Amino acid sequence: MLVKEASPPSLPVPPRDIATLPELRLSTQFLLTGGLLLLLAMVGAGIAVTRLVAEATINHTAAYSAVFVQSIVAPFAEELGRQGTLSPSSLSRLDELMAGPAISERFPYLEIWLRDGTVAYSNSPEIIGRKFTPPTALSEAFAGEVVSDFTDLQTAEHRSRGFEATFLEVYTPVLAASGEIVAVAEIHEIKQPLQDGLARIRLISWLAVAASTLVIMAGLYGVVRRGTRTIERQQAALLVRAAEAEQFAAANRALGVRLRNASARTVEIHENTIRRLGADLHDGPAQLVGFAQLKLDEFAAASSPGARTRLREMIRTALAEAIHEIRAIASGALLPELHALTLSEVISRAVQAHVMRTGAQVALEAVPIVVDVADAARACVYRFVQEGLNNAYRHAAGGGCTVSCSLDGNWLGITVSSRGRTPPAARDEAAGPRLGLIGMRERIESLGGTLTLETDDRGRTRVTMSIELQGGLLADEQDQGRDH
């Protein structure tokens, strides 16, 4: 079972799933609103087009029928102009013309109206000579226009004959040779062929309007759809960037707090380091030099050669030990020359220095790392390995240590683990704050890395540093920063 020491939180990862896009897309809104408006426009245009086409078709049919009627009644125009009536022979001739199957199947009825509403001719003999209220279209026809209308079954001339079906009625002026309108011919045309043609024309008109509307709608929707997708991509990118900016702002605030804490702890560490150096100098070399000074006074007062020899040897030994301790303290405070070394060589030198100083067994499991890093990274790595081995030597005597390192992308990981069992008293001491461990953590965190301390149930400890080699830790980045 591993007991891990808490490490500082890592940078938050920006969210990747953005669920804040609108539920109803712009293109969908355009499809609903634009589709409704275009549907209304299509209905209005369809009604207008079919009405105009129907009127044009009826007028064309009326014009054709008017030409046909003119060809029938034109020979009798002079007679109507002179007498106002038709002779029996003329009536018989008109009856013969209207009785022909080619005419009667399409034009079942023909009336010739005089200006006062008298029927001068009809193939319905019962209304010949009768006078009716002139239809509205009759007065327009006497004004020189060809007028068409559908049968009004409520008029007297139609009720007298018991009309039940409606016809297309075409009123055509009958002109004498002088150009005077002497009568109006009204012909009744079967409307079924006309209705079939109108139905076909209406269908074609509606299909054309609908097809045009769909083409327009599809084209506009395609443009809006592409614009909508562009807007949505940009909006999603902006939302992601805003979320990342917010996350990084929070991370920067947290790093600012950590930086202030690290600065405060750095001052404290410097003070503690000075006190430790002072204590080491006072308790070691200063005591030995003071001892040598006392013995020097005795040496001056001694009279026998044997006593002087013995005191001289004691003074020499004390001074030698003082010099040795001063050198030991200095070797711990000063770093060797690391500038030209690779990270693998820095780790190897720290291990060799520890072995030469303590004689302990250290296994080095390091992959070649030739990345050119800044001096701050080299110093951090050297101090970490040095302090980790010192802690393992002091608190986990026996079994030796193992130093391993790896490089995963830009992330450098170094681990110092003890193979010996740490005594309970030493573990209790390690659980509390120590100057070396605090110094290592502050040094690593100041470069953006993390430090973890793990102790398993067998008392073996493992301390690991992890640091990303970027942001000024690479030599070329540091040179570029100086250039700027």
Residue range 165-224, pLDDT digits in tens = 778 888 888 888 788 888 888 888 877 776 777 778 778 888 888 888 888 888 888 888
* Six token digits for residue 414: 């170094």
What's the pLDDT at 428?
Answer: 47
Crossing angle for the helix pair 26-73 and 192-281, to the nearest 10 degrees = 170
In the chain, CATH 3.30.565.10 covers 338-483
What's the pLDDT at 397?
Answer: 59
| Confidence band, pLDDT 50/70/90 cuts, at residue 11 | very low
CA distance 432 to 209: 87
DSSP string, 227-252: HHHHHHHHHHHHHHHHHHHHHHHHHH
Instruction: Give the mean pLDDT of 435-452.
Output: 82
Percentage with pLDDT > 70 across the chain: 83
Tell me how far the alpha carbon of residue 350 is from its chain's centroid. 52
Percentage with pLDDT > 90 across the chain: 8
| Confidence band, pLDDT 50/70/90 cuts, at residue 5 | very low
Q: 451: closest CA among 462, 466, 436? A: 466
Q: Which CATH architecture has domain 338-483?
A: 2-Layer Sandwich (3.30)
Residues in the chain: 484
* Between residues 330 and 342, the one the model is more confident about: 342
In the chain, CATH 3.30.450.20 covers 29-196
Coil, strand or helix at 225: helix
Q: Which CATH number applies to 29-196: 3.50.50.60, 1.10.150.20, 3.30.450.20, 3.40.800.20?
A: 3.30.450.20
Long-range contacts of 387-391 (CB under 8 A, 24+ apart): 387/436, 387/437, 387/439, 387/440, 388/416, 388/440, 388/463, 389/350, 389/351, 389/354, 389/360, 389/362, 389/416, 390/354, 390/436, 391/430, 391/434, 391/436, 391/437, 391/461, 391/463
- Is the predicted pLDDT of residue 303 greater than 60, yes or no? yes
Instruction: Give the mean pLDDT of 434-438.
Output: 65
- Is the predicted pLDDT of residue 463 greater than 90, yes or no? yes
On average, the pLDDT of the chain sits at 78
Amino acid at 287: Q
- Is the predicted pLDDT of residue 306 greater than 50, yes or no? yes
